[in-house]
Structure 1
């Protein structure tokens, strides 16, 4: 009797080293350059922010974070960004409500206006981060300069390198870039092994992260008390908080097309953006100065003294910040949604700890950030990674993997916080 043999399906071929070596230099250059663009814009915005929210109100005899000054500054920021969108060539790029982390390749003439609008937004106080417009600028620069100086390099490579480099620079680690790129590759036909495809983007992400680390010394650690061996109550807390945060985030996602549509009826950027700034001023009056800006340093202020606020106080900050994120993303401010969403998740986690002291603050914050980011970004790996690095506790990672399952069931297949050109949500 003949013995049957089974053949295993052939695995994807591994690329020889000589095929990967030519990508190292372009990846290194893009990584360093993307980081310097990010650090430069952030530093310039911080300097302007220091003037607008420090010596200027002091000279005018107005409180730095008084209700009057917050309303004036946010409305003035809307006017300034509106002027850029209206008058500067390229109009600061397409409607930001239609963009995600995967940025289109914009013409070079659009990029200066987009950079200017982003810097003004970061300094003026709207609740958005730098990630989306900085990625778009770096993608546009890499595609333009790469095609000009290295025309034989595949054109599709430059956007991938720029995205990976910018994400690495934003988070200070190439791991985030590798996770985002691998998640994007999962839905595409791929030639060769995964790590061969990740080699050049990971190189760019590593160089972007190292450049940012050496120049700006970023940190995401909130300094929360470390968590020891997890207990059953920690599992229960994570399973409750992450879906609750995801449900709250989905409320903003469902409201997004309606708020965007209402503001778009004003039709002109000199009406939409100042109106959005005025609404943001009213929200800042309700939530206070911690609900301003992208939220990274403000998270640190929350985490340093969690006992100083009640559960209601933390919940109010979370709701106001989420509403501010919704308005800022709807009215045309150029910015990303990850950093303010992280602030919202942090506030929710601290609210859970204040309400039920048995909930460890590290568990509460990590689960809250995980659920909120899953709803706002729909990026599973980035959500897990960001939630984990905030608390710097290895024990929390297993809890987050468990908590991500019910949270993902709440958000998958539902509308995303990104719109098509006709105003309908992307699914």
Structure 2
């Protein structure tokens, strides 16, 4: 977006106003595509986990149904990656949020793989595939109707609109793009560079809210004014949670490489489905799916599960996240990381009753998202959103510092370079 950075005052304002309309449109379209993909996956999920077992007299929470469903899901995703044109896009294990636009022909296969995984109970969220889908669609469409807007601007607005829709507020996109803008060496006011992403993200957030709410609807009771002990607790919990998340990060590349040695995506996604099914049998239904609704379920009754059982849920979900992301399924890691943080935070609050639940959960979510996504702004934003209590923000701003020291030299949760898929 160097054009409006270099423009003088009046021209810059006119350029921002001229691009504001397309930015709103991109945000609305991003939210509509997200809403459609999410609703389609929920319909398929209801059929697989409610209608079908009821029709055959099976227990959807039973071990055989969980194992069988995840195995079939792995096979279906593997067949999609192997045979559908475009091979369901790039491997999510090697991709971060954003990236260059995909060819439009890749979108159907990527959407199919994402919906199958979301509905089948795979422990991945929708953020990576939906951002890639929206970026591909909007770049192709805008290239025909908004030919004067650079492709990189369109891609950036698609990312911003989708992030705003995912989390129901443009603040997440603003924080994400603040980091990107801060890394630039070109001149111009920072808010000039944030203006259009904020417009697109705001339009996406409002559209998603009007359609029925965001995907991450997790809230805790207000904590009240934190004291010194609360601050100390957060300073301990956040880095410990980050270290826990790094257990999965440390083995991720090796697990990914091990799956790829099988050669065909049909084989390694099916094996991944079997392993996810076994983990689902161990952890139960609460450890399946992307983790948003499951996090809310845990928080509805914070003291309803024993601390050791909650730690077990967190460990099973971490293993499921590593396997799902490494075995070729298409999806993101933020939503499962939130569940792991919620379970771990509730466990801490159970072990140490003097720690407020809101503080323990938000600090643990902060550490887990930081370890998995390696974005301090995103981790801080999600931790604050979960509490719904602005008073905890200051404590979390302190807690993110030792947590960042824990993760800063650790490997990222990305596949090794040179380990391609073999469609």
Structure 1 residue 400 and structure 2 residue 379: aligned? no
Task: Tell me, yes or no, if the aligned pair for 1:222 and 1:304 is still in contact at 8 Å.
Answer: no
In structure 2, distance between residues paired with 1:160 and 1:190: 17
Q: Deviations over 1:16-51 (max 9, x none)?
A: 311211111210111110100000000010011001
More moved, 384-393 vs 180-189? 180-189
- Give the 5 Å matches for 1:42-191: 42-191=38-187
In structure 2, distance between residues paired with 1:219 and 1:419: 27
In the TM superposition, what is the alpha-carbon distance from 1:220 to its structure 2 partner? 4.1
Q: Deviations over 1:72-110 (max 9, x none)?
A: 000000111111111110000111111011232111110
Taking a change above 3 Å as real, the CA distance of residues 330 and 255 of structure 1, as seen in their structure-2 partners, is: same
* 2:221 corresponds to which of 206, 222, 225: 225
Q: Report how many residues are paired.
A: 414
Task: Tell me, yes or no, if the aligned pair for 2:256 and 2:415 is still in contact at 8 Å.
Answer: no
Match of 1:237 in 2: 233
Match of 1:261, SS state, is helix
Larger Rg: 1
* 1:353 corresponds to which of 349, 358, 368: 349
TM-score (norm 1): 0.94
* 2:384 corresponds to which of 388, 393, 397: 388
In the TM superposition, what is the alpha-carbon distance from 1:192 to its structure 2 partner? 1.4
Task: Tell me, yes or no, if the aligned pair for 1:131 and 1:335 is still in contact at 8 Å.
Answer: yes
Task: Tell me, yes or no, if the aligned pair for 2:217 and 2:292 is still in contact at 8 Å.
Answer: no
In the TM superposition, what is the alpha-carbon distance from 1:413 to its structure 2 partner? 2.8
Match of 1:307, SS state, is coil
Match of 2:30 in 1: 34
In the TM superposition, what is the alpha-carbon distance from 1:191 to its structure 2 partner? 3.6
In structure 1, distance between residues paired with 2:415 and 2:183: 20
Structure 1 residue 297 and structure 2 residue 327: aligned? no
In the TM superposition, what is the alpha-carbon distance from 1:190 to its structure 2 partner? 3.0
The answer for unaligned runs of 5 or more in structure 2 is 1-5
Task: Tell me, yes or no, if the aligned pair for 1:122 and 1:130 is still in contact at 8 Å.
Answer: yes
Match of 1:308 in 2: 304
Deviation >4 Å, runs of 4+: 11-15
Match of 1:308, SS state, is coil
In structure 1, distance between residues paired with 2:343 and 2:88: 32
In the TM superposition, what is the alpha-carbon distance from 1:420 to its structure 2 partner? 4.6
More moved, 156-165 vs 139-148? 139-148
Task: Tell me, yes or no, if the aligned pair for 1:221 and 1:391 is still in contact at 8 Å.
Answer: no
In structure 1, distance between residues paired with 2:95 and 2:216: 25
In the TM superposition, what is the alpha-carbon distance from 1:423 to its structure 2 partner? 4.3
Task: Tell me, yes or no, if the aligned pair for 2:166 and 2:215 is still in contact at 8 Å.
Answer: no
TM-score (norm 2): 0.95
The answer for unaligned runs of 5 or more in structure 1 is 1-10
